[in-house]
Amino acid sequence: MMKIIAIMGHREEYLACEVLKGLNRMGVELIPSVPLNKFKRLVDGFNSGASNDLPVNQPNYTDDEIIEHSRDADYIFVFWNKFMSPTHEDPGGKMYLVDKINEPDKTVIIDGGEWSYSGYRTLNYPWINSKNYKKGDPWIWHYMRDRAKWYFKRETFPEDIIDNNIIPCPYPYRIEDIRENFSSLDREIDLSCMFGQSSTGFRGDINSICNAIKNNSKHPDSIFVGGIASREKYLEIICKSKMSVDSWGGGSNCTVRRSEVIINKTAIIGQKWEIVSPNDFTDGKNIISWETIEEFKEKLDYYLQNPEKVIEIGKNGYNHVLKHHTTEKRMEYIFDVIGGRLKWGID
C-alpha cells in the first residue's frame, strides 16, 4: 500500500479536497498533519455529500510521528490554501514540517490558488482588459517551488510551465455532482445563466445580454437568469437546461460551475481559458467557447437556433469528462506525471 504524508494548512481548499478524496479512493495510507475532521468543508466534501470519501478518523499525529512516517512514505503531498492574510509567509497549519522532513525528491505541491501565490490581490496586478484580472506578482509560491520536485497548480499559464516547471492541474469534475434524479426531466430551458456574483469579469454584461434575450423572447420561460438559493435547485435548473453560461470569476479562469454543468450533460457556453488544461475540450465539439462579448453574442444566437447541436455538445462534453477529467482520472494524470509517463502535464 502506498503511504503519503499530507501536510495541510490552516483551512480547507477545493482542489485539496478532491485530491485527498482521490488518494483515499485509491486505497492510499494517508498520514495528515492535522486530522481532516478539523476541516468542516473538506469533511462535507464541499457540499457534494462525499464525506465518506475522506479519511476522517485518523490519529492526531505528533510532529515527531509524522517525521518518522515520512522516512518510509512514498510521497509528501503539500496542500496549498489561501494564506491567513497577504502578509503571512505561508498557508499556516504545519507547513514547517516540509523543512523538518526535507525530502524534496518525493515532495508534491497541490496549489489550488488564484489572484497570486497567497490567494490575495497584490498591489501591482495586471489586467487582461478592463474586465478581467490575470495574475498577481508573485504568482508562484517560490518558497515551496524550491522544496518540491513536482508542483501542480490549478491555474497554470504557458509561461509558468516554461519558467518554473509548473504542472497544470485544473479542478476535476466530480461524479458526486451528477443528479440522476433530475436526468429524466425535459430540457425545457434553452439557456440558463446563474452566477453567485456578477461584479467581476464579464458577468454583469452577460447577465444583461441574457436578460435582454429573455425579455424579447416569445418563450421567456425557456431562458433562466438569476441566482438560486438552494444548491439542489441550482443543479435541477442545470439538468433542465440545454446550455448554461460560464465566465471567469475575478481572479480565476477555472470555475466549479463548468464542472457542475458538463458532468450533467448540459452544454457549457464558457469564456475560453488562458490557463493550460491537459486533455482540453474542443470548441464546437464538446464545449462552446468565446473570448469576447461580441463572440459570446454571436455564438449564443447561433446555438439558440440550433438546439440539436447544443444537445450533442452536452453529451460529448460529458463523455469527454468521463474519459479524462473525473477525480479518478485527475489522480491517474498526477501519478502519470510523477511516474514520468507524462511530461510537464501536457500530452
Could you state, in order of their start, the residue ranges of all structural domains in the chain?
Answer: 3-172+326-338, 175-324
Kindly give the confidence (pLDDT) of every residue in the chain, 347 residues in length, as a single tens digit, with 9 standing for 90 and above: 899 999 999 998 999 999 999 999 999 999 999 998 888 777 777 766 555 678 777 889 999 999 999 999 999 999 999 999 988 989 999 999 999 999 999 999 999 998 899 998 876 655 555 555 567 889 999 999 999 999 999 999 999 999 999 999 999 999 888 888 887 788 999 999 998 777 777 888 999 999 999 998 888 889 999 887 688 899 999 999 999 999 987 667 888 889 999 999 999 999 999 899 999 999 999 999 999 999 999 999 999 999 999 999 999 999 999 999 999 999 999 999 999 998 865 54
Cβ-count burial of 195 within 10 angstroms (0-12 exposed, 13-18 middle, 19+ buried)?
Answer: buried
State residue 131's pLDDT score.
54
- The pLDDT assigned to 347 comes to 46
Answer for the pair 286, 317: CB distance below 8 angstroms, yes or no: yes
Q: Quote the CA–CA distance of 177 and 193 in Å, as a whole number.
A: 18
pLDDT at 181: 81
Q: What is the pLDDT of residue 133?
A: 59
Residue 253's pLDDT is 85
CA-CA-CA-CA torsion sign (260, 274, 87, 107) = positive
pLDDT of residue 218: 86
Domains 3-172+326-338 and 175-324 share a fold: yes
pLDDT of residue 125: 57
| Domain covering 175-324 assigned CATH 3.40.50.1970 in the classification | no
Cα angle 141, 142, 144 (rounded to 5 degrees) comes to 75
Predicted structure pTM score: 0.93
User: For residue 134, what pLDDT is reported?
Assistant: 66
Architecture (CATH level 2) of domain 3-172+326-338: 3-Layer(aba) Sandwich (3.40)
CB 25 within 8 A of CB 50: no
